[in-house]
Amino acid sequence: MVFRRLKPYTVLITATGKASITLSIRPRHLLLGLVLLVGLPLTWMGSLLYQNIQLARQNQALSAAATEVLTELDVIEAEIEVLKHRAGLPDPVDLDALDSGAELPPQGGVATPAAPEAMFDLAKQRLPSLGTLLNTAVKPALEDTLASEAEQQAAFPTGKPVAGDLSISSEFGLRPNPFGGRSYEMHEGVDFAGPMGKPVLATADGVVMAAEYDRSYGNYVKIDHGYNYETLYAHLSEFAVTIGDRVQRGDVLGALGSTGRSSGPHLHYGIYRNGQAVNPRYYLTLEASP
């Protein structure tokens, strides 16, 4: 060992009139003392510094995570606003717009970054209120809106009342009396010329409000679709429904015929909106939404 080969140091302390003191210090002990006096505090300070750097890094990571969570919450909140609007719920009151006249009190100072803990607390406070808003207000309102929209869609006369490509033999509007003479009559629907017995189909969901014989329309079916819409299917040879039946779009109402005031097998199809006959042409080309 190096220490063994080193000779001990001798320190002589003398004072006039007093006995001198002789200290014999071995290098090994001196080195040990130095290590204890200088080395240990240095190690301790180093470890403190290292811990501080680690803490700062962790803090930075936490802050980044908290910022991400809060940003994500902002996005969710914005999406909930879109859903609220779609559900027909009132839009939030714009407080800034209300206060536009008032000036903000002077603000400023040193910007201190928010502690991650405080940011997480804020996120934790916001989450339950967003969840409650979504579940108790937005979701039910949205479901109601979508259901009523679907119901309205289903009640809207769409497409043709007969399958296949039947030609229209008479349009909606004024036309010369088909039974001769020089008079004109208002034709409140369109006529489809077609083979006897061809199934006649409901063009929207509704309730059968009439399935009976009339001198002009012959055997006719009238459906109340709600939302102020009714449809009429006339000159049928047979009925497939009775009054009060609930029908869906595409259900068979009866068979094409030539009963009543008719010059040959055809279906008279009429659409009434608020009790007024409207031209079915526009509705015929519409496609039912799935």
Which residues of this chain interact with Zn ion, rule CB under 5 A? 191, 268
Minimum separation from the CB atom of position 170 to Zn ion (A) = 6
77/214 with CB nearer Zn ion = 214
Minimum separation from the CB atom of position 98 to Zn ion (A) = 59
Minimum separation from the CB atom of position 227 to Zn ion (A) = 24
Contact between 279 and 172 (Cβ < 8 Å)? yes
Minimum separation from the CB atom of position 268 to Zn ion (A) = 3
Minimum separation from the CB atom of position 276 to Zn ion (A) = 17
Minimum separation from the CB atom of position 264 to Zn ion (A) = 12
3-state secondary structure labels for all residues of the chain: CHHHHCCCEEEEECCCCCCCEEEEECHHHHHHHHHHHHHHHHHHHHHHHHHHHHHHHHHHHHHHHHHHHHHHHHHHHHHHHHHHHHCCCCCCCCHHHHCCCCCCCCCCCCCCCCCHHHHHHHHHHHHHHHHHHHHHHHHHHHHHHHHHHHHHHHCCCCCCCECCCCCEEECCEEEECCCCCCCEEEECCEEEECCCCCEEECCCCEEEEEEEEECCCEEEEEEEEECCEEEEEEEECEECCCCCCEECCCCEEEECECCCCCCCCEEEEEEEECCEEECCHHHHCCCCCC
Give the strand order in the sheet containing 199-201. Answer: 199-201, 252-255, 238-239
Minimum separation from the CB atom of position 270 to Zn ion (A) = 8
153/170 with CB nearer Zn ion = 170
69/223 with CB nearer Zn ion = 223
The CA distance from 201 to 283, in Å, is: 14
249/268 with CB nearer Zn ion = 268
28/261 with CB nearer Zn ion = 261
CA dihedral angle for residue 25, residue 26, residue 31, residue 33, rounded to 10 degrees: -50
222/268 with CB nearer Zn ion = 268
57/281 with CB nearer Zn ion = 281
Residue nearest to Zn ion (CB): 268
191/245 with CB nearer Zn ion = 191
Minimum separation from the CB atom of position 228 to Zn ion (A) = 22
